[in-house]
Amino acid sequence: MNKPIKPLLVVLLASLVAGCNAAEGDARKLVDAARASWDAVMPAAPGASTGNLVLNADKVNACVKNLQDASDDLAEVYEKYANTDVAKAPDTQALKTASDRQLATCKQIKHVQGW
């Protein structure tokens, strides 16, 4: 291989690896933010059948706000970082499913109660 080309290939490969690591890190930050939003209002982990959400206007409004934030963060993960290991992780997928379902439930309760 021509000597001037070899260092260029090394730099290009290093750039690709660094870009992948940055994407994983950015995706992880969004998933962590979504999980924090979930944890702020939900009494149990996503997918867990234990815990009860106290139904009053403040709690339901907080549920809608926080879970909308979580859903938005996770949507960004799947839009921008779909090919990352973070996006493909079962925990991320479970959090997205649980957040979307619980958000719909909280929105319905809010609407029915007129809050």
Q: Quote the tokens at residue 19.
A: 């870009």
Q: What secondary structure letter does DSSP report for 2?
A: -
Q: Quote the tokens at residue 56.
A: 């009053």
Residue 88 has pLDDT above 90, yes or no: yes
Query: Could you state, in order of their start, the residue ranges of all structural domains in the chain?
Result: 25-113
- Which is more confident, 9 or 67? 67
Q: What is the pLDDT of residue 115?
A: 86
Is this prediction's pTM over 0.75? yes
Residue 76 has pLDDT above 70, yes or no: yes
pLDDT 10s digits, 16-49: 444 558 899 999 999 999 999 999 999 888 877 6
Instruction: From residue 62, give the alpha-carbon distance in Å to each of 59, 86, 94.
Output: 5, 27, 21
pLDDT band at 14 (very low <50, low <70, confident <90, very high): very low
Q: What is the pLDDT of residue 4?
A: 59
Mean pLDDT of the chain: 85
Residue 81 and residue 83: Cα distance in Å, rounded? 6
Q: What is the pLDDT of residue 15?
A: 47
pLDDT 10s digits, 46-73: 877 666 767 899 999 999 999 999 999 9
Widest CA span in the chain: 73
Q: Name, in order, each residue with C-beta under 8 angstroms of 33's C-beta and a sequence gap of 6 or more.
A: 69, 70, 73
Q: Name, in order, each residue with C-beta under 8 angstroms of 87's C-beta and a sequence gap of 6 or more.
A: 27, 77, 78, 81
